[in-house]
Amino acid sequence: MSGSGSRQAAERGGFMTRGSRIARYAASGACRSLAGAGLALSLGLSLPARGQEVPAGSQDAPSATPTTDPNQVRPGSYVLDSAHGKITWSVSHLGYSTYYGQITDVTARAELDPKAPAKSRIRVAIGIASVTGLNAELDGHLKGPDFFDAAKFPTATFVSTAVEPTSPTTARINGTLTLKGVEKPVSFDATFNQAGLHPVDKGYTVGFDGRAVIKRSDFGISAYLPLVGDEVSLRLEGEFKVAP
């Protein structure tokens, strides 16, 4: 064999030797990775999430993974997380635009029974002083006698009287709204979003959206009709925590 051929054979041999070492190293690394993944998976399956206490054998313990199945919601008493519960209202303004505002002082208590939704109940209290049109001058007007008269009627309430499921994740909530001293039947459509352990506070949480339309004139709020619309659309947002 010529000198050139010998060098090529040696290089091939060296390449194969290095390739074998690389292959063996990669294989051993892959095995270690797979072993580590298996260990992590076994630990993940056997240990509860941090901050979550799961009694052995308990089927009622909440899952760390949120569920969109309302049948999996834990029954019981819940209170609204006021930091994540508000009402957004909108009304036609002179026909030129739709004006939006919010009500931020909202408290609520709900009794939820996912196996018998018709037995669920909710009671809501609304601090009228928190009504805002996101404009200081308008806010003062809204809280005055022309509209809500917050000094005389500081609180509005809604108390449910019946819950009518309309689909696996929606329901019509019928009840009585007391606003500015007037009681009227009002209904809103609620949609279940999800339930599970909150990723921040680790508390069990149930989330809903709601929609309703009321006529403000029904409650004696008739200023500037019909220039400012009579129908007021309400968008309700709420995260409920297990009651202490």
Considering the domain boundaries, does residue 150 fall inside one? Answer: yes
| Average pLDDT of the segment spanning 200-221 | 97
123-157 in b/e form (b: 16+ CB < 10 A) is: ebebbbbbbbbeeeeebeebbeeebbbbeebeebe
Residue 197, both tokens: 């352990």
Comparison of pLDDT for 91 and 14, the residue scoring more: 91
End-to-end CA gap in the chain: 89
Q: Which residues contact 90 (CB under 8 A, 6 or more apart)?
A: 98, 99, 100, 101, 232, 233, 235
What pLDDT score does 64 carry?
63
Q: How confident is the model over 99-148, as pLDDT tens digits?
A: 999 999 999 999 999 999 999 999 999 999 999 999 999 999 999 999 99
Backbone angles phi, psi at 34, to 5 degrees: -65, -40
Comparison of pLDDT for 60 and 122, the residue scoring more: 122
Domain with 104 in it: what CATH number? Answer: 2.40.128.110
Q: What percent of the chain has pLDDT over 70?
A: 74
Alpha helices in 121-167 (DSSP H): 136-142
pLDDT band at 2 (very low <50, low <70, confident <90, very high): very low
Residue (of 23, 32, 112) closest to 71 by Cα position: 112
Residue (of 191, 243, 202, 219) closest to 54 by Cα position: 202
Considering the domain boundaries, does residue 2 fall inside one? Answer: no
Considering the domain boundaries, does residue 9 fall inside one? Answer: no
Residue 84, both tokens: 């994540």
What pLDDT score does 124 carry?
98
Alpha-carbon distance of 43 to 35, in angstroms, equals: 12
At 172 the three-state DSSP class reads strand
* CA 237, chain centre distance (Å): 8
* CA 72, chain centre distance (Å): 16
Comparison of pLDDT for 86 and 4, the residue scoring more: 86
Considering the domain boundaries, does residue 125 fall inside one? Answer: yes
What pLDDT score does 97 carry?
97
- Assess contact for 210 and 189: CB atoms under 8 A: yes
Mean pLDDT of the chain: 81
100 Ramachandran zone, left/alpha/beta (phi>0; psi -120 to 50):
beta
- pTM of the shown model: 0.73
Considering the domain boundaries, does residue 110 fall inside one? Answer: yes
pLDDT band at 161 (very low <50, low <70, confident <90, very high): very high
Look at the chain and report how many structural domains it folds into. Answer: 1
Q: Which residues contact 45 (CB under 8 A, 6 or more apart)?
A: none
pLDDT band at 4 (very low <50, low <70, confident <90, very high): very low
Alpha-carbon distance of 75 to 68, in angstroms, equals: 15
What pLDDT score does 63 carry?
57
Considering the domain boundaries, does residue 19 fall inside one? Answer: no
pLDDT band at 46 (very low <50, low <70, confident <90, very high): very low
Query: Which of 10-14, 66-70, 100-104, 209-213 is predicted with the least confidence, judged by mean pLDDT?
Result: 10-14
Q: Give me the domain span that covers residue 132.
A: 73-242
What pLDDT score does 65 carry?
86
Q: What is the 3-state secondary structure (H, E, C) of 96-121?
A: CEEEEEEECCEEEEEEECCCCHHHCE
Write the DSSP symbol of residue 48: P
Residue (of 211, 146, 128) closest to 172 by Cα position: 211
Considering the domain boundaries, does residue 20 fall inside one? Answer: no
